[in-house]
Copies of this chain bind each other. A is one copy, B any other.
């Protein structure tokens, strides 16, 4: 009788769940990276205009980048009057990154 081991399929699924292309794609652009970094150094949400100051491009481009980050689940936003406030849930993002690390190591340990 063979020893029971985790199925390779479980790793395939776990890796597909944690290494989501849309998540990683959202983080691969220099401007979006600086947006995330900028928001990580704040406790309060920031407006599009404030965020624009940190990236050297037009605010319309910043708006598009924010949309991409939001759709990837990295940022959240809500209206406040005529402003739109964007905020980063740092703990959630950190947890996602650690989940990737954990999954990679678990799969490595179970590897043949």
Contacts and interface: CB of A to CB of B under 8 A. Distances in A.
Q: How many copies does the complex hold?
A: 2
A30 interface: yes
Main secondary structure, interface of A, reads helix
A98 interface: yes
Interface string A30-53: 100100110011110000000000
A91 interface: yes
Interface residues of A, number: 37
Interface string A3-17: 000001001100110
A60 to B, nearest CB: 22
A16 B33 CA distance: 9
A43 B94 contact: no
Given A28-B25, A28-B27, A30-B21, A108 B8 contact: no
Contacts of A84: none
B98 A43 contact: no
Given A25-B28, A27-B28, A28-B24, A107 B19 contact: no
